[in-house]
Structure 1
Amino acid sequence: MSPNTFATFSGPDGGLVNAPCESSNTTDRKTPKYDWNIHHDRAFGNAVSLYEFNKEHNCRTGSPIADVFAIHATENGAILALADGVNWGPKPRLAAQCGVRGCMEYLQEQFFDNDCHPKNTHEVFKILRTSLDHGQNLILNTEATLTTICLAVVVQLRKTDQFVLCVVNVGDSLAYVYSPMHGVREVTTGCRDLLHDRDLRECGGALGPAVGEDPDLDNLTFSFTMLEHDDVVFLASDGITDNFDPAMAMTARVKDFKFKTLDENLPLIETADRQTHTTQAMSEMLERSGKHEPGEDTAMMVCGRFVQYVVKLTNPYRDSLEKYHARMHKDSLAEEESKLTNEERMELDSQRKKAIYTLPGKLDHASMVAFTVGNQQQECISLKDQELVVYPP
């Protein structure tokens, strides 16, 4: 991979800037070697909270955002990382930061700082696997909790114009490729059983002290695919991907799905078809946003479209929750509701909750990071000049 870097970007809220480093001193906040505020339209990431705004605490439920992403892009390749802290709070956020920083610093050292660079994809996968150990150690050193992680390396094969993608992931943070000609395909399908319904509350695996001080590598998966020029490689947390699931988006009924009350008039599909419907929905969303020639669908544009889609999909759900929570406070009850008995009010609250669960979408932290494949021009865009961040209204 070329050492000529044109983007090093991490987020949200600074991403790796204040993340701990691998050190015997767990309070060490060594300044990162790279400036993590340089993004490019062909190397970009985004993260938002889809949760409702809590007026009582003057912040969104589930704050801070526990997802962290990073990308290091060169003129002929890239390293991408995305982690989704398990549950809410500072500890999961710290786990995601440590997981990404530990992995990224080891990968940067192996690809850019050492004289002996990997000679084949087998060596690339060995480096990716070893990087997980560095992420795990940093999580334990800082007493953080659990996080999923997805790591990807885009490399150009020697003496060819061919690019390939190597991915290692743990948990439910997944990797995809968007081709302007062929649509979206998932690369990490091997990390879960597609034939049976999965519990959306279970991530499937995680770094951190999951089993004593060991990680849960139950669904550790190595994935590989060939790439074409102008493909967009992207990693996404389940806050993005689950909102394209046909059952969560309420575009179809899935057998034995228990998280939403689905309209009986919706088409019924098999559990085994959910993943295909999910990537098809992603492709259709990108196609609806306009006709684009190869090379015009940049990483920044793809990230923006995905985030805007999930924000719009979950707006009714989020608005209903905000109204529901407002009415839970006695001060904000309508005059006629304040006259209800406790039993009547409980029944009314029950009806409101049922209405909420009939609305499409899943509230979560939603993040993604993307890279446009090909030989890049080194034209950097500073965050001070342009920032594409979309938050729920």
Structure 2
Amino acid sequence: MPSFRQKFSGFFRQFSAPSESRNDENASNRFIKKYLNGNEINKHVPVILHGRTPQEVPPHALGQIINYEVIASLTGPNGGLQSVNQTEKNLSVSDPEINFIDNIDGECDEYNEEKKRSLSNNINTDEKNNSEVKLNILRKLKSHLVAGVENWNNPTSNAYGASCSLYEVHPITHRHTGDPIADCFAIVTRANSAIMVLADGVNWGVKSRTAARSAVHGCVDYLNKTLYPNTKQSPKSTTDVLLTLLRSFHAAHNMILQEEGTLTTLTAVVVFPSVVDNQFIACCCNVGDSLGYVYSPKYGVRELTQGSHDIHRMRDMRDVMGALGPVDGHNPELSNLTLSITQIDLGDIVFITSDGVSDNLDPVVGHFTGLPNVEAYQRHKLSLLRTEDLIRNGVSGKGPAVDTPKELVTLLLDFVTRLTAAKRRILEDIEIYADVNGKPLAQGEVRQKRKDIIKKSFGVPGKLDHATVVAYKVTSEV
């Protein structure tokens, strides 16, 4: 029977060395060669404007929403935002950094009362005389939309999201290390607009998951009822949308405090039509290291959230950079809170990833072959080119190109799962957890063994984490 050291070496060779059967060299190096040859440096792409406040971002006029009816909606994993309390409480936030966000106290009660009046008026007067119908009316009046949506299990190929765990499975308990998945996402689309939100709970555990779910719930609820009011009045400019996004983060933070969650990142993107035919604008607000992107068949991949971090400095991937939730016992950490906008076209795909995906698209973390020493800004550009290459050419490098958000989400999660396979295999070895007789080792001994093995596995590609992607294809459905 091979020793653990021999097995470790075998895993390392199997998953880390280039192999024709696992990774076509021309495909894996194509994006690097393009960059090093200068083929991608001067590609002109729509500008991304960003700032700390709505007033710092130059305003752009918006077109009209065609229809307010929800076309697609999805949240997850495991119930997503539906799994937290659905009633907001009025909370105050004393952090001076978010005092400029208007207080939204009382808006929920007014919103719910309007929904009840609308529902009651839609019921035939004659039916109200029937006792059975009366009971149904009461049930309907007591029920309410969850974050502004009736059905949270209605995805389409053009509006999709999914999560998975990249952590190893314990060989004795058969559970994923790091469970439960602490990410949460939600997407809601209408005829020519969309809301996308992703949160990544900081660290592990139920409280982190609660923070992510609460943040997504509070954010989406506020966006739905503010951007799509009963008056059918669309926002006139991107400044209006950015202000609404900022206030939605206030609502998200309040919901975390209410549900006693810990800390989470949060990224939200709203897509609205421009006044120019067949053009749209993506408006984004983010705090932390969950990143937003736009894939354009014409321009490639660009990062919508790049203003939230310095692409000229190497980032410590253990630092989320900012978070909602009680960082100091009550207030959030908003040091990298950023608002941004960019023009997008029909057919573009907007997507958000947790760092379990974005970090594994980093060429250094992925140990992509043929890569020389690079500066931070080059590393950032190569990450975008790696992502674009995957979308255009697939994991094999032979295509076909991704055409829908569902295909994009599936592709990226499949890629990062394959990339991190070696690390999982190493950490799933029974010798870390049990003696030669199969008797489980003491927890302290297991912890030390894992620590030693993780140090030795730094040369193996990939980063273990929770991985989530949510994506939307820009459409103009009637």
Q: TM-score range by the shorter chain?
A: 0.7 to 0.9
Q: What letter corresponds to residue 79 of structure 2 in structure 1?
A: G
Give me the TM-score of the superposition, normalised by structure 2: 0.69
Alignment partner of 1:249 is 2:366: yes
| 2:186–2:470 CA contact under 8 A, matched in 1 | yes
Confirm or deny: 8 A CA contact 2:185 2:470 kept in the other structure.
Answer: yes
2:84 equivalent among 16, 19, 22: 19
The Cα of 1:352 is off from its aligned counterpart by 4.7
Percent identity (aligned): 38
Report the TM-score when normalising by structure 1: 0.83
CA contact (8 A) 1:10 1:16 kept: yes
* 2:442 maps to 1:372: no
Matched ranges for 1:65-76 at <5 A: 65-76=181-192
Distance in 2 between the 1:143 and 1:183 partners?
41
- For 1:102-251, list aligned pairs within 5 A: 102-115=218-231, 116-158=233-275, 160-251=277-368
Amino acid of the structure 2 residue aligned with 1:327: E
The Cα shift of 1:159 comes to 6.4
User: Counterpart in 2 of 1:4?
Assistant: 69
CA distance in 2 between counterparts of 1:65 and 1:347 reads 24
SS in 1 for 2:265: strand
Q: Deviation at 1:157?
A: 1.9
Distance in 1 between residues matched to 2:452 and 2:260, nearest whole Å: 42
Q: 1:211 and 1:75 mapped to 2: Cα distance? A: 42
Matched position secondary structure for 1:214: coil
Q: Distance in 1 between matches of 2:450 and 2:88?
A: 51
Q: Secondary structure at the match of 2:82?
A: coil
Are 2:392 and 1:287 equivalent residues in the alignment? yes
* 1:308 lines up with 2:373 in the alignment: no
**Deviation at 1:351?**
7.5
| Residues 350 and 147 of structure 1: CA distance in aligned 2, closer, same or farther (over 3 Å) | closer
Secondary structure at the aligned position of 2:164 is classed as: strand
Deviation string, structure 1 residues 371-390 (Cα, Å, up to 9, x no partner): 0012136xxxxxxxxxxxxx
Secondary structure of the corresponding residue to residue 228 of structure 2 = helix
Deviation sequence 1:320-350 (CA, Å, 0-9, x none)? 1111xx102344479xxxxxxxxxxx99988
Give 1:162 shift: 1.4
Query: What is the deviation of 1:185?
Result: 1.1
Amino acid at match of 2:82: V
Partner in structure 1 of residue 205 of structure 2: 89
Aligned to 1:327: 431
Task: Give the Å deviation of 1:273.
Answer: 1.2
Gaps of 5+ in 1: 253-264, 335-345, 378-393
- Report Cα offsets for 1:206-260 as digits up to 9, x if no partner: 00001331111100001111101110000110000000111110127xxxxxxxx
CA contact 2:84–2:259 (8 Å) conserved in 1 = no
Partner of 1:389: none
Q: How far 1:16 moved relative to its partner?
A: 1.7
Distance 2:314 2:449 in 1: 32
Kept after mapping to 2: 8 A contact 1:21/1:30? no
Label 1:157 to 1:146 Cα distance change in 2 as closer, same or farther (>3 A). same
Distance 2:363 2:81 in 1: 34
C-alpha root-mean-square deviation of aligned residues, in Å? 2.8
Equivalent-residue separation in structure 1 for 2:318 and 2:195 (angstroms): 29
Query: Cα distance 1:94–1:151, how it changes in 2: closer, same or farther (>3 A)?
Result: same
Partner of 1:257: none
The amino acid of 2:473's aligned partner reads T
Tell me what 1:362 maps to: 463
SS of residue paired to 1:16: helix
Instruction: Measure the CA separation in 1 of the matches of 2:273 and 2:388.
Output: 26
CA distance, structure 2, for counterparts of residue 98 and residue 132 of structure 1? 11
| Shift in alpha-carbon separation, 1:145–1:188, aligned structure 2, 3 A | same
Take 1:78 and 1:212, find their aligned partners in 2: how far apart are those partners?
Answer: 34
| Equivalent-residue separation in structure 2 for 1:203 and 1:215 (angstroms) | 13
CA distance in 2, matches of 1:49, 1:176: 22
Change (3 A) 1:20 1:267: same
Name which of 383, 391, 397 aligns with 1:278: 383
In the other structure, the counterpart of 2:37 is none
Q: How far is the alpha carbon of 1:272 from its aligned partner? A: 2.2
Partner of 1:339: none
Q: 1:54 to 1:291 in 2, by over 3 A?
A: closer
**Structure 1 residues 347 and 304, CA gap change in structure 2 (3 angstroms):** closer
Q: Is the 8 A contact 2:346 2:474 kept in 1?
A: yes
In the TM superposition, 1:45-84 aligns within 5 A as: 45-84=161-200
Which amino acid in the other structure matches residue 175 of structure 1? G
Residues 349 and 292 of structure 1: CA distance in aligned 2, closer, same or farther (over 3 Å): closer
Letter in 2 for 1:54: H
Q: Secondary structure at the match of 1:212?
A: coil
Counterpart CA distance in 2 for 1:25 and 1:223 is 28
Q: Secondary structure at the match of 2:327?
A: strand
| Displacement over 6 Å in runs of 4+ | 346-351
Tell me how far 1:160 sits from its aligned partner: 2.6
Q: Where is the strand percentage greater, Structure 1 or Structure 2? A: 1
The match for 2:121 is none
Do the aligned partners of 2:427 and 2:450 also contact (CA within 8 Å) in 1? Answer: no
Equivalent pair of 2:261/2:325 in contact (CA under 8 Å): yes
Q: 2:344, 2:431 → 1: CA distance? A: 52
How many residue pairs align between the two structures?
Answer: 353
Higher helix share: 2
